[in-house]
Chains A and B, each alone.
Chain A
């Protein structure tokens, strides 16, 4: 397929996504709209984790912790303090950012796979704490979370919640699009590729990594706030290690650092299990095998980011030219 053809396919796919996103609440049944809203939640989570893993290259295996902190903050503030939904958003952002700083500051200097394990431990601590503390409602969680309102309008119907989710997802999408092209985004790219070289040109890695961590946490917090008012009830079983892995799956399936990839993969991750409901027994088993096969066959994901492709091509070219030089040297010595 040539470049022009590829652009056409991309354009057509994006148009199809927009058509589905807007047509769904008008034509869909409540069940379909509900599935669509869940897709939007995963789009937000995927985009947030993409900042951490895709842009900055930090493996986070406890991302659901930030999702949980956002959801619980909104739920507690709306249930107990009777705050409006919109006022809980900044609070959720503050709490998630704060927890991002608390867990990130000491650990971001660590070896990258140690970071993965620390985040995993953090995720488990948050989940166990939510299960055992009283103000989080214990294992039953919190329920009766009020619906959000705009002016006097109560967003109760599936359509209204869907559009609220769409608005959230678009803000997060625009935010991460701009982040990738900002000074900070380029710093992340540089650190991901070669931390020592990035440091040599004046990037302070720990600071940039912490920013990625905190921004990713805030995105997850926003997704959590929306999740709480969408379901009106939350409990710790939504924030397990499997949840963190599922979010990670979204960005790996989509292609690290690729925004359309995240959207596409979020849809696949939510819709595929719904379609496979009949095969519920083998679902997770197939998921595990699929993960291995995907890594073996197509590690760059379904819709790899363009920057990533350019990088890979450049590496391939430089490796080929290096090989050519070696071959030429070898030829020269044999002569």
Chain B
């Protein structure tokens, strides 16, 4: 039971990362039906930009951990969001109507970002500053670190904020309109390209947020860190029902917890197999996901 509860805590932490990244996948897929392969690498870029900001702030002798972390998050989220828009503008926008070509272009963008990080930063692991040394709480035999609470709570806050943006603002209404019918949305006077660009911006900022917190949580990052977690976040998005925002959150947490339990009771080497096994089973048994609506094939 202790193992289960401890893995539940760890799983919810990792699940918050999955959920934040899955939101980017699900928003982009919902609007332009693209599996944005580069999204995992956008998350990696976010982690690296956060590290650069930390380095810069240390040069400027700013060492209040809360202030540096907030600045790191803001700078990284802003820059990564712009990068997401740039990737859309260069690699996706000209190919919006070529289904296979745009997917290949996305793989190209993914490799470009990965090996761009490889060239600019380092081929090996980089160490993140160790800022939050709080021992956290011990509930019986289960330990919950302060950082885990921060990740979980701030993740939930951001997810709620995104939900509000999508459901309560004008740009969010435009996004939902695009997801339903792009041509009709255009006829209603919605600037389709701008709305898609904003979607990429929002998705990328969430991924960057997850990236910086991952760096703080695991205290090391590498240029390939986005690949596997990107795949799993996509799994989470599919699990919850792709195109559905609460679905991505539910899917992310569920996947994190299931994986944690698999690692706790089985073997951590097989946890990725569990994740992909779940993906395949979900796609076969319930392709629309847990909360998704039925999607008709559109070429």
Residues in chain A within 8 A of chain B (CB atoms):
57, 59, 103, 106-107, 110-114, 116-118, 120-122, 124-125, 128-129, 131-132, 241, 245, 248, 252, 256, 281-282, 284-285, 287-292, 294-296, 299
Contacts and interface: CB of A to CB of B under 8 A. Distances in A.
Contacts of B95: 295-296, 299
A67 B195 CA distance: 42
21 contacts: A106-B280, A107-B280, A107-B283, A111-B295, A117-B35, A118-B283, A121-B231, A121-B277, A121-B279, A121-B280, A245-B107, A248-B104, A281-B119, A282-B115, A285-B118, A289-B112, A291-B108, A295-B105, A296-B94, A299-B98, A299-B101
Contacts of B272: 124-125, 128
B297 A117 contact: no
B189 to A, nearest CB: 23
Greatest chain B CB density within 10 A among A114, A248, A252 is at A114
A114 B270 contact: no
Interface string B175-211: 0000000000000000000000000000000000000
B283 A292 contact: no
A38 B89 CA distance: 37
Interface in B138-175: none
Interface in B28-42: 33, 35
Interface in B87-140: 90-91, 94-95, 98-105, 107-116, 118-119
Nearest to B275: A121
A50 to B, nearest CB: 13
Contacts of A103: 280
Nearest 8 Cβ contacts at the A-B interface: A291-B108, A288-B111, A288-B112, A121-B276, A285-B115, A292-B108, A106-B284, A284-B115
B237 to A, nearest CB: 10
Contact of B273 (A116, A120, A129): A129
Contact of A288 (B110, B238, B297): B110
A121 to B, nearest CB: 4
B61 interface: no
Nearest to B278: A121
B19 to A, nearest CB: 18
Contacts of A114: 238, 283, 287
B18 interface: no
Contacts of B111: 245, 284-285, 287-288, 291
Given A106-B284, A110-B287, A111-B287, A291 B116 contact: no
A107 B107 CA distance: 22
Looking at chain B's contact residues, the main secondary structure is: helix
Given A107-B283, A296-B105, 19 more contacts: A111-B295, A113-B35, A113-B99, A114-B283, A118-B279, A124-B272, A125-B277, A128-B273, A129-B273, A131-B269, A132-B269, A245-B111, A248-B107, A284-B115, A288-B113, A288-B115, A295-B98, A296-B95, A299-B98
Contacts of B102: 295
Contact of A292 (B112, B238, B287): B112
Given A117-B35, A121-B231, A289-B108, A295 B101 contact: yes
A218 to B, nearest CB: 22
Nearest to B271: A128
B227 interface: yes
B35 A116 contact: yes
Contacts of A299: 95, 98, 101
B104 A117 contact: no
B234 interface: yes
Interface of B: 33, 35, 90-91, 94-95, 98-105, 107-116, 118-119, 227, 231, 234-235, 238, 269-270, 272-273, 276-277, 279-280, 283-284, 287, 295, 297
A243 B263 CA distance: 28
Contact of A111 (B101, B269, B297): B297
B288 to A, nearest CB: 10
Contacts of A292: 90-91, 105, 108-109, 112
Contacts of A59: 100, 103
Contacts of A290: 108
Contacts of A285: 111-112, 115-116, 118-119
Contact of A291 (B90, B104, B273, B276): B104
Contacts of B91: 292, 295-296
B33 A125 contact: no
Contacts of B283: 107, 110, 114, 117-118
A132 B238 CA distance: 27
Contacts of A296: 91, 94-95, 105
A323 to B, nearest CB: 17
A107 B276 CA distance: 14
A288 B108 contact: yes
B238 A291 contact: no
A107 B284 contact: yes
Contacts of A131: 269
A117 B114 contact: no
Contacts of A125: 272-273, 276-277
B233 to A, nearest CB: 12
B284 to A, nearest CB: 4
Nearest to B111: A288
Nearest to B91: A292
Contacts of A291: 104-105, 107-108, 111
Nearest to A282: B119
B118 A120 contact: no
B101 A288 contact: no
B108 A117 contact: no
A301 to B, nearest CB: 11
A220 B184 CA distance: 45
Contacts of B110: 288
